[in-house]
Amino acid sequence: MSKTPESAELYQRAFLQLIAEDKNISFHAERGREFLYRPGQLLVAVEDQQRVVEKLRENNIIARPGEGLAGLARLTLPNNAEDIPRIVRLLRDQRNWPNQRMPLVQPHHVIVGHGGLIMGNPGDRPYPAEPLPAPKADGSLRDIRVGIIDTGISSGADSDHSGWFAERYAKEADDVDPAYSSGDFFALQGGHGTFVAGVIQNAAPGVTFDPEIALDHNGFGDEERLCRKITELGQKKISVLNLSLGCFTEDDVASEPLRRTIEALPDDIVVVASAGNQGTQRPSWPAALCGVTAVAAAEQKRDGSLVPAFYSNWGHWVDACAIGNRASTYLKGEWQLPGEASATPFALWAYWYGTSFAAPLVTGRIAATMAADGITAAQARDKLLSGAEFAPGYGVFVK
């Protein structure tokens, strides 16, 4: 089955339908300022909590303290669940804080995997691909460990793709990707983490990896769960952390929970994150954070030429790019989007495109360079990024 504009539209529509039906996700649809958030939640700097509560009370808004995250306080607003964007702008308006510092406040943003594309932009689901030969493992990579926070890994990854994954990760029940919406039918980003893991193995054959789940099988998560998983992996002996996910934020202000969590990681861990797939210069977080290696996508045409990918986010905050349209490891199952006449079967391999699959190529190349040159992850990253810019706003091309 070939890619069609119709299937891309159906994929987009399916994502938006899930958002509309999920009571734990709200969509701020202001054109050019779109973002997803948890309704009824405000995240506030601990030192600002009391005066924010008082300001809200002045505006007849009830705020109740909740469990904090990433060093921030959380306030729940039971009567104003959908008013979070308006309330954040109220609290960020300096005119409401005469002779005072404006408080640090933000929504609790929803994270999405960068394999699916939402918010009115082109995108598509994966398509079946022919099997790929297993790359020959490099024994020097075995002692290098990569963290992958995503949808998890398929339950049979080590046996279905033994030449790619066997004995390269510890099988843990809470790392298994649920993958399917019902029966053998894939959810909208089911298999995303397995695909990403295959890209990393292709770039660094034999590297050890640790898969963790921060996204559900449809590709949705939030800052709280992602921060928790980043902190957990930071306590393990990983060298590179791959994040093929991200979020837009209200007014494009940096995600404070992600900033604090990533800044707290050991200095010897390199974080690589996808830039996002909306074809915009808007920053995606955590990719746009200082110190994170942000990866855009290039596209390989049928004639072999390389161009900036039409769907890729880009900008001054992007450090690198890699081919985003590629084949990789996948699962068995069927794809059928609402509105499609028939299902498409998959047999362990898929073709997909997105910055989600450019980022792990860079992650793998950092690990491979570490092993080849006997250098640290930061030194390997700097070596890879020492070349010329591929195109304005796309960083250095990594192959």
Name the fold adopted by 112-397: Rossmann fold (3.40.50)
Confidence of residue 5 (pLDDT cuts 50, 70, 90): low
pLDDT at 385 over 60: yes
CA distance 118 to 103: 31
- Separation between Cα atoms, residue 246 and residue 313, nearest integer Å: 12
**Neighbour count for residue 273 (Cβ, 10 Å):** 30
Q: Report the pLDDT value the prediction gives residue 301, as an integer from 0 to 100.
A: 87
Check pLDDT > 60 for residue 214.
Answer: yes
Pairwise CA distance, residues 276 & 219, whole Å: 13
Query: Using an 8 Å Cβ cutoff, are 334 and 340 in contact?
Result: no
| Strand partners for 296 | 321
The token duo for 66 is: 């909740």
Burial category of 98 from C-beta neighbours within 10 Å (exposed 0-12, middle 13-18, buried 19 and up): exposed
Judged by DSSP in three states, 257 sits in helix
The percent of residues in the chain predicted with pLDDT above 90, rounded, is: 91
Closest CA to 61 of 91, 33, 37, 31: 91
What does DSSP say about strands 185-186 and 180-182: parallel, antiparallel, or unpaired? antiparallel
Q: 182-204 burial, b for 16+ CB within 10 Å, e for fewer?
A: eeeebbbbbbbbbbbbbbbbbbb
- pLDDT above 70 covers what percent of the chain? 96
pLDDT tens digits, 102-156: 999 999 999 999 865 555 444 688 999 999 999 999 999 999 999 999 999 999 9
Q: What is the mean pLDDT of residues 310-335?
A: 96
Evaluate if residue 26 carries a pLDDT over 60: yes
What secondary structure letter does DSSP report for 294?
E
Residue 297 · residue 309 · CB < 8 Å: yes
* Amino acid identity, position 13: R
Distance CA 270, CA 276 (A): 19
pLDDT recorded at residue 217: 95
pLDDT of residue 116: 55
Spatial contact of 326 and 353, defined as CB atoms under 8 Å apart = yes
Q: Domain extents for the chain?
A: 24-110, 112-397
- pLDDT digit string, tens, across residues 226-272: 999 999 999 999 999 999 999 999 999 999 999 999 999 999 999 99
Mean pLDDT of the chain: 94
The first and second tokens of residue 51, run together, are 């005066």
pLDDT in tens, 41-88: 999 999 999 999 999 999 999 999 999 999 999 999 999 999 999 999
CATH match of 24-110 with 3.30.2010: no
